[in-house]
Amino acid sequence: MIGARPACLAWLTLALAISGVACSRSARQHYESGNRYFDQKKFREAIIEYRNALQQDGKFGEASFKLAEAYAQVGDAPGALHEYVRAADLLPDNIDAQLKAGTLLLLAGQYEDAKARAKKVLAKDPRHLQAQILLANATAGLKDLDGAIKEIQEAVQLDPQEGQVYANLGVFQLAKGNSAEAEAAFKRAVELDPRSVNAHLALANFFWARSRQSEAEQELLEAHKLEPKNPVACRALAIFYIASNRALEAEQYLKVIADTTKERWARLGLADYYIATSRQAEATKILEELAGDKTVYSAARSRIAAIQYAAGRTADAHKTIDEVLTRDANNPDALVVKARFLVAEKKLDEALARAKAAVAADPRSMPAQYLLGVIYAAKNDPDEAIKAYSEVLRLNPRSVPAQLEIARLQLARGDAEMAVQFADQAVRAQPDNPITHLALVRMLLARGDLVRAESELRPLVDRYPESAPVLAQMGTLLMFKKDEKGARQSFERALQLDPNSYEALAGLTTLDVAVKRMADARARIDARLARTPDDPAVLILSARVYGSAGDMARAEQALQRTIEVDPSSLQAYGLLGQLYIAQKKLDQALARYAQMAKQQPRPVAAETMIGMILQAEGKSAEARKHYEKVLEFDPRAPVAANNLAWMYADSGGSLDLALQLAQTAKRGLPDQPEVNDTLGWVYYKKGLAALALPPLQQAVDKAPQNPIYRYHLGLAYLGSGDKDKARASLGQALKLDPNFEGASEARKALGR
């Protein structure tokens, strides 16, 4: 017996180690401990206890529900959503769990699931008002606004005196475009419950959206008067004043939020306000205090780094943000701050790596996605930039900066129609923002819509008569309308208000060149370069002026300097290549376009120019390779498609492939005479003379002095049996130029 005891103890120790039961607390004990922490507002400690409870009993619905509540308290929306849904599944009769799960599903855009939760509650209690409202909101999320209005009207029947129902009805009517009905519903909500902060805020939001600022402010102040410490009302007032360019009036409300809630994020918001209003010392004081709290350390120190960088203390800023990333390597906000520093220092590859890491850490981070767009745009990759900005719009469809950036990129790609669409969206999102209207005017002018551009611009001139950007844009509009005197006056006044206005300088210079006042244009440019010798935009403008004046050496010098200052300037490379082509310096032109191609991931323009130069030099095989490379980058590239189609048709290549390429070019450049001539020539070569006639006639109509187009048209008439028109067209071609390429074939055709 004595010898058996150690064996028994060893067995017992092993059993305890395996089971862990005798030495561990039960799921119920962890749950109760979590409740005590929750009641003391120690939510993070409560989360740990609730998790321990669920580890021991994964079907402990009450623990799951309380864990969701704790997640909600610390602002962890994804965690709260997951646990509310699990709790609702485990506790099918718990209406509170169903409604909270449904509400978060609604906010997450999972409208079908939210709708299902609402219906589950209504199945148990058909008169449950909050479930009916949730059902209406989910129905609206599924784009069924008529159905949503029907559901909310049923909620009205359940309780005609419930103001919240009318507030929701107002939202749906507004979404349907029924402004009058929406206003009536919002006002009815206030009448039914005049002491409801939410009802006043909903009405204020309606007035604000309708640019009825004074009425919006009145309702916001009424909501604040009812509950002076209500954080939602205070936040709404602060945002209203900041958006109305009355930022100083926002401070008191942001202070109330910070003092009342005691939340770290509220104090961070106050610090952000001080940063935005250039009160860095006050911001830094708050941030230094917050940095001592490990839960907001990264956010606070990242903001301190940004303040240091803005003050020119770049070494300190990098040191601060690197310390943050050492402790929290995947913090998306810190990664974004670091990437911004690198962008400012033109270290784009390093910046891109950081921005990608930020997106990987938090795909829903709009600052990270937006910065990704900025970096791709700087790297001359418009496709990826547009993709990143589009992701920002997916996360927030009303993001005006993203809309404007996409509009700008689309305009740079030559798609003025798409640019106008995005600028229109920006104007609808911020109708009182002059920047959105100015952007729309630029896009409209690029599209050639002078009437609408003027209708957008005139109110801006009336509202901002001393704004240099507005006056410069008016000068551009008047220049398009051939009003030289009016345009010049607008540009000159803009330059008086802002001597650095590039648009005004470019406008006046363009006017000078147009009326052959080259000395004035050069003097104007030289004076600006004396002040800002390394401004890439001004250098390119000077190159254009020198080129127009015939001073090719100065033009080349200006473009070379632009490339030194901004090696990523595709415009400078392109213009320098054109300059070399004009001077028959084809080798130098090839070198410049090759450099330009290295600057882009998809160098469509540069490779097209290389192909054109090689084709002009008679190096058809090499030219063909470059055109084919262009079409690998962009199968719709019209110039490469046109030139390649011509080469296939003219050299006995595949006429079927030539036709496909010519049709591609036609879709991209439908009015270009060269493209129509190519398409017609391919049809003729395929023996389809009747199909060749329309595009060839279009080419002749656009360029009646081109003998080759008339020659091709004459052959097509001959092939279709119309000898009289063939004779007339061929004769006109020879009359225009008796020695054009193809003249001997034209004479033979006439002889037939």
Q: Which residue has the tokens 């002040």?
A: 531
pLDDT of 119 reads 74
| Residue 345: DSSP 8-state | T
Find how far residue 117's CA is from the centre of its chain: 34
Task: Report the Cα–Cα distance between both ends of the chain, in Å, rounded.
Answer: 128
Residue closest to 521 by CA, chosen among 503, 548, 559, 494? 548
224 falls in which pLDDT band (50, 70, 90)?
confident
pLDDT for 1 beyond 60 = no
| CA angle at 88 for the pair 83 and 90, rounded to the nearest 5° | 95
298: exposed, middle or buried (C-beta count within 10 Å: 0-12, 13-18, 19+)? buried
* pLDDT higher than 50, residue 16: no
**687 dihedral zone (left: phi>0; alpha: psi -120 to 50; beta):** left
Mean of the per-residue pLDDT values of the chain: 80
Long-range Cβ pairs for the range 249-258 (8 Å, 24+): 253/224, 256/228, 256/229, 256/231, 257/231
Residue range 1-13: average pLDDT? Answer: 32
Distance between CA 487 and CA 475 in Å, rounded? 4
Taken as a whole, the chain contains a residue count of 752
pLDDT confidence of residue 734: 87
245-268 confidence digits (pLDDT tens): 787 888 888 888 888 877 777 788
In the CATH hierarchy, which fold is given to the domain comprising 567-634? 1.25.40
Tell me, what's the pLDDT at 167? 37
Across residues 106-121, what is the average pLDDT?
Answer: 67
Closest CA to 692 of 717, 661, 710, 663: 717
Contacts of 107 by beta carbon, 8 Å cutoff, 6+ apart: 77
Distance in angstroms (rounded) separating the CA atoms of residues 464 and 433:
12
Predicted confidence at residue 346, as pLDDT, reads: 87
Prediction pTM value: 0.62
Q: Which of 90-94, 134-138, 237-241, 405-409 has the highest mean pLDDT?
A: 405-409
Per-residue tokens: 499: 């001597």
- Asked if 367 and 400 count as a contact pair (C-beta separation under 8 A), the reply is no
Domain map (residue ranges) of the chain? 567-634, 643-752
Residue 651 has pLDDT above 70, yes or no: yes
Are the beta carbons of 581 and 589 closer than 8 angstroms?
A: yes
Q: Where are the alpha helices (DSSP H) in 57-110?
A: 61-73, 77-90, 95-107
pLDDT at 356: 95
**How much is the pLDDT for 22?**
34
Cα distances (angstroms) measured from residue 346 to each of 349, 352, 378, 386, 539: 9, 11, 9, 20, 20
Classify 585 in phi/psi space as left (phi over 0), alpha (psi -120 to 50) or beta.
beta
Predicted local confidence at residue 168, as pLDDT: 39
**Domain 567-634 and domain 643-752 have a common topology:** yes
74-106 pLDDT, tens digit per residue, is 767 677 778 888 888 888 888 777 777 776 665
Task: State the SS3 of 579-611.
Answer: HHHHCCCHHHHHHHHHHHHHCCCCCHHHHHHHH
* Residue pLDDT, tens place only, 366-380: 899 999 999 999 887
In Å, what is the CA distance from 199 to each residue of 168, 177, 748?
Answer: 10, 20, 87
CA–centroid distance for 210 within its chain:
25
Superfamily of domain 643-752: Tetratricopeptide repeat domain (1.25.40.10)
Instruction: Assign 3-state DSSP to the chain and report helix, strand, coil percentages, each to 5.
Output: 80, 0, 20
- CA distances (Å), origin 594, targets 382, 409, 564, 609, 610: 19, 23, 16, 9, 7
Q: Token pair for residue 351?
A: 């910046």
| Torsion angle defined by CA atoms of residues 436, 440, 446 and 448, in that order, rounded to the nearest 10 degrees | -160
Condensed to tens digits (0 to 9), the pLDDT of residues 435-484 reads 999 999 999 998 889 999 999 999 999 989 999 999 999 999 999 999 99
Averaged pLDDT for residues 485-509: 93
